[in-house]
Structure 1
């Protein structure tokens, strides 16, 4: 079977490309989840990686769940508890892995991101979209609920009211609306998407990698922790990065008016 996820590294930047364009890069009914988990583990263990780009091959970013497999699961003689365990041991491992990955991840949304495909984009830290991108939290159209964490992710990205509007209607929005709703931070022409994503990744990768990883962790933990707890965690992280060679290099380069060189 052909691999679902292509892993390519350029300097400090890894690009992950979903590569089943003939099926619009589905996240179920294939090896997508275990391949994502393996890629996250590889990235987390590689200190040379400072930024990640996630995109899709072909016209779609990801169509989400494989509807044909969904029919087999729902229409066949399958126990409900088995379906529950399939979710817990399958697609639900993906948001936990990406949430805990300390390296910043940029979703370069090249086309439609539907259902779990939209939620996958929301698992990333930054989203930029081509002008051909479309977005839909479309589970309700299939008579199901967001089973992959979308009910937690989407409101934190675009706010409760707009997340509810998308979730309750299943409506699709275009890239311009996504930008206005803060679902994405940039919209660029289709042929400039990966170049824009790489420029952003390079800008991130130019910074001290340990400070960047800890900053991401603070932002992620801040999504569910109290201010007092975040302040306490920030103090602990600050104590660590104050002792790094990259901190000393940053201060010295600033005072010497030169470009710093960070070794991680």
Structure 2
């Protein structure tokens, strides 16, 4: 059963289908600018999803031509939204409000998929990078374009980008503000798959459903193990793997899956 809801004045559509939660940017504004309000609604939705045991995968997508155009340049010019006040005020607003988004996406235990069409620019590119998997349409493009406006990524994009493409490519993208098309983004590991524009959301939903069908406890541990291992020494990673595997081997979830596997194997003989 599919359930869709939209909070009053929310720029998001949130839809739950089986164990997959789809969060759709639906602000009605071109490029769905990542304002303070948009960020807080997104963080609320993700933090709520993290508390729910019935959600096994999250898809982040958007309506319209573009995924997310990042910050609103007119607000920057007018001193509105994030820009109100002085340096201390802006820094505090970044830490208390906008930083909720990278923290929420980093903390959520279930896999996250970004379905990217059109432009993912600046903070919009960072938003896509925060997800575990990115699927792009053929017309997608990615840019760490902050230097064009005399800025740097203020919500952690440098941390995510460096871990995805490596230091040299991350520096190149940051220094040049170049736009990477979908195929170039696939070659450097930003996206895992490129599909036709009209197939993007269906492909993301298909992958999410496949992921969500996994045993939920093991899936959460698998995500944590891969992420933590990437920044750990081999002895630490092995110790973590042994602990997680022991928990799973002694649990009912694993035993049930073994029985199902053997029953299905016997039925096909």
What's the TM-score once normalised by structure 2's chain length? 0.90
Aligned partner of 2:250 in structure 1 is: 243
Q: How does 1:99-110 map to 2 (within 5 A)?
A: 99-110=106-117
SS at match of 1:222: helix
Residue 56 of structure 1 pairs with residue 56 of structure 2: no
Q: Name the counterpart of 2:3.
A: none
Q: Secondary structure at the match of 1:58?
A: coil
Find the residue that maps to 2:200 and give its secondary structure.
helix
CA–CA distance in 1 between the matches of 2:113 and 2:84? 40
How many positions carry a matched residue from both structures?
Answer: 257
Larger mean Cα displacement after TM superposition, 176-185 or 242-251: 242-251
Q: Structure 1 residues 258 and 110, CA, compared in 2 at 3 Å: closer, same or farther?
A: farther
Residues in 2 aligned to 1:140 and 1:211: alpha-carbon distance in whole angstroms: 42
1:201-212 matches, cutoff 5 A: 201-212=208-219
Structure 1 position 41 matched with structure 2 position 47: yes
Corresponding residue number in structure 2 for 1:89: 96
Alpha-carbon distance in 2 for matches of 1:212, 1:242: 14
* Corresponding residue for residue 220 of structure 1: 227
**Cα RMSD (Å):** 1.8
**1:78 Cα deviation after fit:** 3.2
Q: Is the 8 A contact 1:27 1:91 kept in 2?
A: no
d(CA) in 1 for partners of 2:228 and 2:101?
17
The structure 2 residue matched to 1:131, chosen from 138, 163, 174, is 138
TM-score by length of 1: 0.91
Please say if residues 21 and 60 of structure 1, whose CA atoms lie closer than 8 Å, have aligned partners that are also in contact. Answer: no
Runs of 4+ in 1 over 3 A off after TM superposition: none
Stretches of structure 2 that go unaligned for 5 or more consecutive residues are 1-7
Aligned to 2:148: 141
* Superposition deviation, residue 21 in structure 1: 4.0
Contact 2:11/2:28, CA 8 A, preserved across alignment? no
Structure 1 residues 131 and 81, CA, compared in 2 at 3 Å: closer, same or farther?
A: same
CA 1:21–1:130 in 2, change beyond 3 Å: closer, same or farther? Answer: farther
Q: SS of 1:22's equivalent?
A: coil
Gaps of 5+ in 1: 260-264
- Identify which range, 9-18 or 64-73, moves more after superposition: 64-73
Match in the other structure for 1:167: 174
Q: Are 1:21 and 1:59, in contact at CA under 8 Å, matched by a contact in 2?
A: no
- Structure 1 pair 204–69 and aligned structure 2 pair: CA distance change class (3 A): same
